[in-house]
Every structure is written in C-alpha cells, then in structure tokens.
Amino acid sequence: MHLPLAQLPAQLQRGLAPLYLLHGDEALLVEEAADAIRAAGRAAGHTERHVFVASATRFDWSAVLAAGGSLSLFAERQTVEIRVPSGKPGKEGGAALQQVAAGAEPGGATLTLVILPKLDKATRGSPWFGALSDAGVAVQVDAVERAALAPWIAQRLAVQGQRVRPGEEGQRTLQFFADRVEGNLLAAHQEIQKLGLLYPAGELDFAHVEAAVLNVARYDVFKLAEAVLAGQVLRAQRMLAGLEAEGTAAVLVHWALSDDIRALKRISDAMAAGRPLPMALREARVWGAKEKLYERVLGHLAPAAAGRLLQSAHVVDGIVKGLKAPDWPHDPWQALQRLALQSLRAYAPPR
C-alpha cells in the first residue's frame, strides 16, 4: 500500500502494519516518520531493535534475514530496521528484501522498517520495491518546496504554541523566515525550536523572528533555474549570491541557466514552424513542474528574444571558462548575474 506522509499518523492509529517502507531525500521528515513508526512499535510491544545499514560493498544480507527470525530471551517482539543509503541494494540485496517482504506477517513478532533515499522511476518499478510495498505500507517523503515552506513554518510554530501576527505583517514574517531557511529543512526545524526557547507561547512579531533566525538557506542550481523561469527576481538574485558564497562551480550554474535557454529556443523555433505547444514540449522532453513554467514563458517569448538569450549564454559560457568578452563583466558571477537578469526580463510577460 502506498500512503502520503500526511496520512501516516492516522494509519498508525488504526493499527500497526508488519512492514513500513520510507523513501525520500528530506532527512528531517524521514526521521520523524521513522520515529513515529518506532514509537507505535514500542507501544505494541516491539521493545527490541536491530539496525542494519547496507553499505555499497560486502554487506551480509544473511544477517538481516536471520534477525527477522530470531528473538532474544528478553523480548517477545522486535523491530528490524534496514537502511540502504544508496537506494541500490544490488542483486543479492533485492532478493533478500523480497524474502523480508514474504515473511512480513500482520500481528507477527517482527516489525520491519526499510529506509531508502529518493528513488528514481526504474527503482520504484523493481520487483523488490513492489514486494515491500505490497507487504506493508510505502511512504514517499517529498521535500517541502519553497511555495509550501511558509505554511509549513506556521504549522510547526503552532505545535509549540506560537504564531505570527495576522494579516500582511504575519505573511511578511513567514516569508522572511522562509527566505532564511530555504533548502535546509533541518536547520529550519532548529530555528523554529530556538524561537520556542527564546519566546513564550503566543504571538511573534517580525522583530522577534528577524533577531533570532539565522540565515541558513541552502540553494541548488535547479531551484535557481526554476526561480528564473517563474520570474522571481529577488529570489533568483538571492540564490545566485548564496550559490557563490557556498563555492558552487560557476560552470554548473551556467549549465542550469543555459539548458533552459537552449530548450526554450528549440521549442520557440518548433512553434514558429507550426508545431503546437504541447507537441513541441514533448519533443523537447519537458514535463512535470517545468512544463508549466515553460508554458508561462513561451506564451509571450519572442523568437528574436530567445535568439539573443542564446547568444548571451554562449558568451557567458566562455567567461565562466576563463575567456573575456567585450562589453561583458570579466568576473564569472557578475556575468551570470547579468545573464539571469536578461533571462528574467525576456521571460516576463508584457506589461
């Protein structure tokens, strides 16, 4: 059975499944979900716990299988926790996990918890993943995206009895908080807990949050590209500065920005040749969340503007590799800033 993370607490209250599979790359949420499952297991008498971390090489899967069938003299029930950090158990591991799934019995003596990172589509279609999902409850733990981060912060503050002021000031406070912790959910959780220690339950104003919350945001180049496509000028500038401060390679940032520019140029040319937008997007292998962002831009991106952007991307490609260009900054990050601003202007709808 596949279950959204938000429905896990209700499922645990209805009754403990014999096996749980957690997969996702948001460490805080994965560990919180695992804690909830362990707590439910202890309440059901699973007092003994065995943890196995399947390393990439030389892991003894027979020990995992043996643990599922053995109990100490001091416990009637146990929890067997299997962590596969790579998400790739290999042939032997896949066969072992299928055996684990086959041995999962409702109400049995062993509660099995399997923890995996974010998985690609091929891995989710593997026989061992299907066997684990069928034998118990599979929970996909998705990252909290930027648009959902402010409400997430508000919900976490409410758990500890705190809230921001109503109306526009409260929304400004939450957005400021989100800007400072974007891409770093564990740090966001710690900053929320800090507010609980510094201030009593009740209302928080902007000054409280500004004084207490550190700038612990972490960015990646793919989110930067999305911010540019979405026309988020201030966020894109903040992310560029953050990526530079973190020591991200300028070449990688340029690749993210120019990859969208090239794709938009190809789609724009295809549309000019008479292809419908949905067909042009499919041919360019654009889908998912990015499809909506591309549709937003392509509704008004002029072919000439797409061509100019492509030329600018070509110039910046040389700059980030050490070349100089007339009328362009010599510093790679200044050139990237200029390319991002050009893109934002070209992608913006006409006033």
Tell me how far apart the alpha carbons of residues 17 and 345 are, in angstroms, rounded to a whole number: 53
pLDDT tens digits for the chain (351 residues)?
889 999 999 999 999 999 999 999 899 999 999 999 999 999 999 988 889 998 766 788 888 888 866 655 556 788 999 999 988 888 889 999 999 999 888 888 889 999 999 998 889 999 999 999 999 999 999 989 988 999 999 999 999 999 999 999 999 999 999 998 998 899 899 999 999 999 999 999 999 898 888 878 888 898 899 999 999 999 999 999 989 988 999 999 999 999 999 999 999 999 888 889 889 888 888 887 788 899 989 888 888 899 999 999 999 999 999 999 999 999 999 999 999 999 999 998 877
- H/E stretch holding 254: helix 250-272
Tell me how far apart the alpha carbons of residues 28 and 156 are, in angstroms, rounded to a whole number: 13
Return the closest-CA partner of residue 184 out of 151, 209, 220, 155: 220
Is residue 212 within 8 Å of residue 177, measured between CB atoms? no
Q: Other C-beta atoms within 10 Å of 54: how many? A: 22
Question: Which residue segments constitute the domains of the chain, with CATH numbers given?
Answer: 2-141 (3.40.50.300), 146-212 (1.10.8.60), 221-347 (1.20.272.10)
Q: Other C-beta atoms within 10 Å of 52: how many? A: 17
How many residues does the structure list for the chain?
Answer: 351
pLDDT the model gives residue 256: 93
pLDDT the model gives residue 308: 93
Return the closest-CA partner of residue 26 out of 138, 106, 118: 118
pLDDT the model gives residue 255: 94
Is residue 129 within 8 Å of residue 37, measured between CB atoms? no
- Indicate the DSSP class of residue 333: H
pLDDT the model gives residue 73: 53
The CB-based long-range contact list for 153-156 (8 Å cut-off, 24+ gap) reads: 153/177, 153/178, 153/181, 153/188, 153/192, 156/189, 156/192
CA 231 from centroid of its chain's CA atoms: 21
Is residue 39 within 8 Å of residue 46, measured between CB atoms? no
Flag whether the pTM goes above 0.85: no
Is residue 142 within 8 Å of residue 23, measured between CB atoms? no
| The dihedral sign for the CA sequence 274, 276, 277, 281 | negative
CA 109 from centroid of its chain's CA atoms: 35
CA dist list (Å): 182 to 12, 141, 197, 215, 303: 30, 17, 22, 9, 34
Render the burial of 172-204: b for 16+ CB within 10 Å, e for the rest: ebbeebbbbbbbbbebbbebbeebeeebeeeeb
What string of DSSP letters covers 63-114?
A: HHHHHHT---TT-SEEEEEEE-TTS--HHHHHHHHHHHHHT--TT-SEEEEE
Amino acid letter for position 252: L
